[in-house]
């Protein structure tokens, strides 16, 4: 099975997880290429300066300083670099320009002859011609119990709303946002975890769920779990007022 990963150049969490994923895929599955989107935590493309300003204004100086230092540390530590991880596994980068759905970008991805597209933190909406490039479709990792908490930053929102449980969902991508049928889903007890601890925990479980999904797709032996719109909740990027409510609920970012 030839896999193309669609992800973003996250400096905090994804490098070690993608390393784990590539190391633990079944022997018949091979990552033949990776599209690496620009980091876009706010759901849209913004300049680096705009990202910094928005982070500071929404989350405050302590959060900004903590992640600023982590960002600098990631630049000095090659283990935090997705590019370095991919190079160690001899996985080529697929260079795209602009929207992944363009005819030119689709042609580049198609040249790798993928059987399956795997989206991990993909930050563009995928259109049908792209989804049809791979014979077995496209799956996406979302760290929440879909159909609840569709959208951005589910780890923040489940804590903000004082949920006792969250989860991980791997689903077949359609042209909506987190709307496709679910292939693998795992429930996770939140406990007293900070947001950072919850992200790390669910990302690790997410890699294991992607591996289970690959195995199910390869065997063809699976039953899809519904992801009904009528039961969904959807959240975008938080405001400073949401962050105040997060703290008021006794939650921690790290």
Confirm if 58 and 239 have CB atoms less than 8 A apart.
yes
pLDDT at residue 43 tops 60: no
Closest among 108, 90, 112 to 99, alpha carbons compared = 108
Closest among 7, 20, 22, 10 to 75, alpha carbons compared = 10
Confirm if 147 and 185 have CB atoms less than 8 A apart.
no
Domains with residue ranges and CATH for the chain: 2-248 (3.40.50.170)
Q: What is the pLDDT of residue 95?
A: 93
The model carries a pTM of: 0.94
How far is the first Cα of the chain from the last one, in angstroms, to the nearest whole number?
38
Q: What is the pLDDT of residue 38?
A: 82
**Paired strand residues for 123:** none
- Report residue 78's pLDDT band, with 50, 70 and 90 as the boundaries: low
Residue 235 φ/ψ, nearest 5 degrees: -135, 145
The whole-angstrom separation of Cα 82 and Cα 79 is: 8
Confirm if 118 and 138 have CB atoms less than 8 A apart.
yes
pLDDT at residue 182 tops 80: yes
Q: What is the pLDDT of residue 122?
A: 87
Residue range 81-92: average pLDDT? 95
Structure-token pair, residue 53? 């300003």
Q: What is the pLDDT of residue 101?
A: 96
Sequence-ordered list of residues with C-beta below 8 angstroms from that of 211, at least 6 positions apart, any chain: 21, 24, 25, 26
């Amino acid at each position: 099975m030839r896999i193309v990963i669609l992800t973003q150049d996250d400096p905090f969490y994804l490098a070690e997880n993608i390393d784990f994923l590539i190391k633990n895929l079944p022997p018949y599955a091979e990552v033949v290429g990776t599209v690496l989107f620009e980091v876009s935590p706010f759901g849209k493309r913004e300049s680096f300066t705009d990202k910094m300003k928005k982070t500071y204004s929404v989350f405050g100086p302590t959060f900004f300083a903590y992640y600023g230092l982590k960002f600098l540390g990631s630049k000095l530590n090659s283990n935090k670099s997705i590019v370095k991880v991919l190079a160690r596994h001899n996985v080529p980068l697929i260079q795209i320009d602009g929207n992944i759905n363009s005819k030119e970008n689709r042609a580049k991805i198609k040249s790798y002859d993928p059987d399956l597209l795997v989206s991990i933190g993909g930050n563009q909406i995928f259109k049908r011609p792209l989804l049809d490039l791979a014979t077995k479709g496209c799956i996406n990792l979302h760290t929440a119990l879909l159909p609840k908490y569709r959208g951005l930053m589910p780890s923040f929102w489940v804590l903000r709303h004082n949920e006792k449980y969250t989860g991980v969902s791997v689903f077949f991508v359609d042209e909506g946002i987190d709307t496709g049928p679910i292939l693998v889903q795992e429930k996770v007890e939140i406990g007293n975890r900070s947001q950072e601890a919850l992200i790390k925990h669910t990302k690790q479980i997410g890699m294991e769920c992607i591996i289970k999904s690959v195995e199910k797709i390869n065997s063809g032996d699976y039953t899809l779990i519904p992801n009904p719109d009528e039961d969904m909740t959807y959240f975008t990027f938080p405001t400073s007022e949401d962050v105040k409510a997060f703290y008021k609920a006794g939650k921690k970012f790290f």
